[in-house]
Amino acid sequence: MADIVKIFDTTLRDGEQSPGASMNSEEKIQIAKQLEKLGVDIIEAGFAAASPGDFDAIRRISEVIKESTVCSLARALEGDIRAAGEAIAPARHKRIHTFIATSPIHMEYKLRMAPEQVIERAVQAVRYAREFVDDVEFSCEDAGRSEMEFLKEIIDAVIEAGASTINIPDTVGYRFPHEMGEMIKELKEFIGERAVISVHCHNDLGLAVANSLYSVLNGARQVECTINGLGERAGNAAMEEIVMAIKTRRDIFGEIDTRINTKEIYPTSRLVAAITGIEPQPNKAIVGKNAFAHESGIHQDGVLKHQQTYEIMRAEDIGLDRNAIVLGKHSGRHAFKRRVQELGFDLDEGELKRAFERFKLLADKKKEITDDDIRMLITSELSSAPEVFKLKKLQINDCSEGVPSAAVTIEHEGREITDAGIGDGTIDAIFKTIDRVSGYKGRLKDYQVTAVSQGKDALAKVVVKVVFEEGREAVIGHGLSIDTMIASAKAYVSALNSYLSMKALLQGERGDSGKESI
Ligand code: KIV
Ligand code: ZN
C-alpha cells in the first residue's frame, strides 16, 4: 500500500498573487478542470472574501469539480469564513482553510495581538469554520519564523477545536531543508495521528521544493504548491518538481507516492502559461522548454545510444509529446475538435464553432498550428467580461522619421466609431487613440509580449495591466494575433472590457471598494 502525500494546489490562490497573473472566472474554471484531470487532491480555488470576482470563481468551480476537494482561504475572521463557506457550498468535497500569523514579528507588528489573543482567535475561527464543513485546515502563517513552543500550543488548541490538517508555511522562504525537516519531525512526534501535517514553502532562497521534500521525508503528508512555481515574489514550491522528484527517487522515498497522473503535468503547465501569460524560464526543471533538449553533440550522441545516459526521466512521463501532430490549413473540424479535447478543454458547441473559425483564420496565415497555438486560441477568448467595446480595424504609421500614429475603429453599442491619434511610440499612439474612441482614459502599468511558438509566423500574446480609474485596482487584458500591434490593441480593449465588467459587479450586490490583499 502506497503511503500517499496529498497534493494541495494553490495556483488559483497563491499563484494568482504573482504580479500579472490575475485570471478571470472562466480561465480559473478551465485551470481547475485540468487540475482535477491531473489528479490534484485539493484545489485552493481562491480567497472568497477578497472580492466578488474571487467569490464567483470559487462558487462556479465548486459547481463543476467532482473528484478533487475545493477549498477557499479565509483569514481568522467571521466574515471571511462565512464568505468561504458560502462560496464552496455547492462542492461535493469541500474544505475551509483558515490562518493567522504565529511569528513574534507578525503578531507584534502586523496583528498587534498578544499570543494568547492569537490562540483565542484561531480557536474561534476553526470552530466557526466547522459550522460550514467537516474538513478544516489551519495554517500558522510565518511558521518558519515562529517559536516551537508557541506552535505546539496553538496547534493543540486548533486540533481540539476541530482542525484536521495543520499547515506549516515557510511564508518568507527563510528555512533551510535540514531545519525544515527537523521542525516537521518534532511536530510529527507532537501531533501524531491527530491531524495531517502540511507544508507550504515559498521560494525566496530557491529552496521551496527542497524544503517541501525534506518535510515529506520527516512526516508531512500534504504539500502545498503551484504549477510552474507561480506565486508571490519568488513563487511557491513547484508541483511538477515535487511530484517528479518523489517519482524518480524511489530509492529515497520508498512507499511514499502521490496520486498525480504525471502525464498531465506538461499539458497543465502549458495551460497555466497560456492563461497567465507567464512562461516558465527555458531552463526550468521538468517543464521548461529546454528541460528535455540536448544541445551538445556528446549529449545527443549519448541519448541516442542509450536514453538514460543523460536523462533521468522520460519526456513521455510528464506528457511531453515530442511527435505531437501539428494541424494546418487542411485540417477539418473533426481533427480540430479531437485535438481540443485531447488538450483538456471542455467547450460547448458554440465555443467550439467560434474557436474553429479563429483556427481557420490563423491557418490561412500560419503553416503549422501547434498545441500551444490552439491553447492560446481558446484561452485568449475565455473572458467573463462582456465585449462592450470590440476592436474592428487598426491601421498604423510607425515610419522612423515621422510621428507614430494610429487609426482605430471600434464597435460600441452596434455602431462603428473611427478616430486617429499620435503618440510617443506606436503602442502609445494605439492606446491613446483607443482612449479617445472609447472615452475612457487608461494608465498603462505593465506591458508584456510573448511569442507563443517559434518562427516568423509565431503568434504574439500581449498582456497589459491598466488602471482606468485612480484608486481602483489595475485590470488585466490579453490579446492574441500574428501581428504584435493588433495583439496589443486587442489586449488594451480587453482590459477596458474587464474594467467595465468589474465596475458593474462591484456596484452590484456587495458594494465592495476593491480587492483586499492578504
Ligand atoms: O505563505 C503563506 O503563509 C500563505 C498562507 C495563507 C498559507 O500563503
Ligand atoms: Zn503562501
Instruction: For the domain covering 389-506, report its CATH number.
Output: 3.30.160.270
Average pLDDT rounded to a whole number, residues 151-175: 98
The C-alpha atoms of residue 153 and residue 148 are separated, in whole angstroms, by 9
Confidence of residue 400 (pLDDT cuts 50, 70, 90): low
Of ligand 1's atoms, which has the minimum distance to the CA of residue 236?
Answer: 1
Residue with CA at minimum distance from ligand 1 atom 1:
171
Most confident region among 8-12, 16-20, 296-300, 511-515 by mean pLDDT: 8-12
CA separation for the pair 238, 226 (Å, rounded): 5
> Per-residue pLDDT averaged across 44-71, rounded?
95
Q: What is the pLDDT of residues 223-267, one digit of tens each?
A: 999 999 999 999 999 999 999 999 999 999 999 999 999 999 999
Residue nearest to atom 8 of ligand 1 (CA): 14
So what's the pLDDT on residue 514? 40
Distance 238 CA to ligand 1 centre (A): 15
Residue 6 has pLDDT above 90, yes or no: yes
Mean pLDDT for all residues in the chain: 91
pLDDT value of residue 26: 86
* 10, 12, 14: residue to mutate for ligand 1 pocket, most atoms within 8 A of CB: 14
pLDDT digits (tens, 9 = 90+) for 474-495: 888 888 888 999 999 999 999 9
Answer yes or no: is pLDDT of 518 > 50.
no
Q: Are strands 256-257 and 389-397 parallel, antiparallel or unpaired?
A: unpaired
Q: Ligand 1 pocket test: pick from 12, 111, 139 the residue with the most ligand atoms within 8 Å of its Cβ.
A: 139
Are the beta carbons of 457 and 482 closer than 8 angstroms? yes
Q: What is the DSSP string of 377-428?
A: HHHTT--SS--SEEEEEEEEE--SSS--EEEEEEEETTEEEEEEEE-SSHHH
pLDDT at residue 508 in the model: 62
Query: φ and ψ at 100, to 5 degrees?
Result: -150, 150
Instruction: Please determine, for residue 386, whether its predicted confidence score (pLDDT) is greater than 80.
Output: yes
Among the bound ligands, name the one nearest to the CA of residue 174.
1
Question: pLDDT tens across 339-354, in order?
Answer: 998 887 888 898 899 8
14 CB near ligand 1 (under 6 Å) = yes
pLDDT score recorded for residue 186: 98
User: For ligand 1, what atom is nearest to the CA of residue 167?
Assistant: 7
Task: Please list, residue by residue across 164-203, b when 16 or more beta carbons sit within 10 angstroms of its beta carbon and e when fewer do.
Answer: bbbbbbbbbbbbebeebbebbbebbeebeeebbbbbbbbb
User: What pLDDT does 513 receive?
Assistant: 37
Amino acid at 130: R
Q: How far is the CA of 235 from the centre of ligand 2 (A)?
A: 8
Percent of residues, the chain, with pLDDT higher than 90: 68
The CATH fold assigned to 3-276 is TIM Barrel (3.20.20)
Q: Is the CB of 139 under 6 A from ligand 1?
A: yes
CA 197, 260, 200: angle at the middle one, nearest 5? Answer: 30
* Spacing, Cα 217 to ligand 2 middle (Å): 21
Please choose from 136, 225, 518 the residue to mutate so as to test ligand 1's pocket, defined by most ligand atoms within 8 A of CB. Answer: 518
Query: Between residues 140 and 398, which one has the greater pLDDT?
Result: 140
pLDDT tens profile 207-222: 999 999 999 999 999 9
Q: How far apart are CA 83 and CA 449, in angstroms?
A: 36
- Nearest ligand 1 atom to the CA of 143 is 3
The packing angle between helices 349-365 and 333-342, to 10°, is 110
Domain boundaries, the chain: 3-276, 333-382, 389-506
Q: Is 141 in the pocket of ligand 1 (CB under 6 A)?
A: yes
Better-scored residue on pLDDT, 382 or 206: 206
Question: What is the band of 323 on the pLDDT scale with cuts at 50, 70, 90?
Answer: low
What is the DSSP track for 496-512?
HHHHHHHHHHHHTTT--
Segment 127-154 mean pLDDT? 98
pLDDT at 276: 86
- What's residue 306's pLDDT? 79
**Is it the case that residue 517 has pLDDT exceeding 50?**
no
Is it the case that residue 44 has pLDDT exceeding 90?
yes
How sure is the predictor about 321, in pLDDT bands with cuts at 50, 70 and 90?
A: confident
Domains 3-276 and 389-506 share a fold: no
Is the Cβ atom of 200 under 6 angstroms away from ligand 1? yes
Residue 330 confidence (pLDDT) above 80? yes
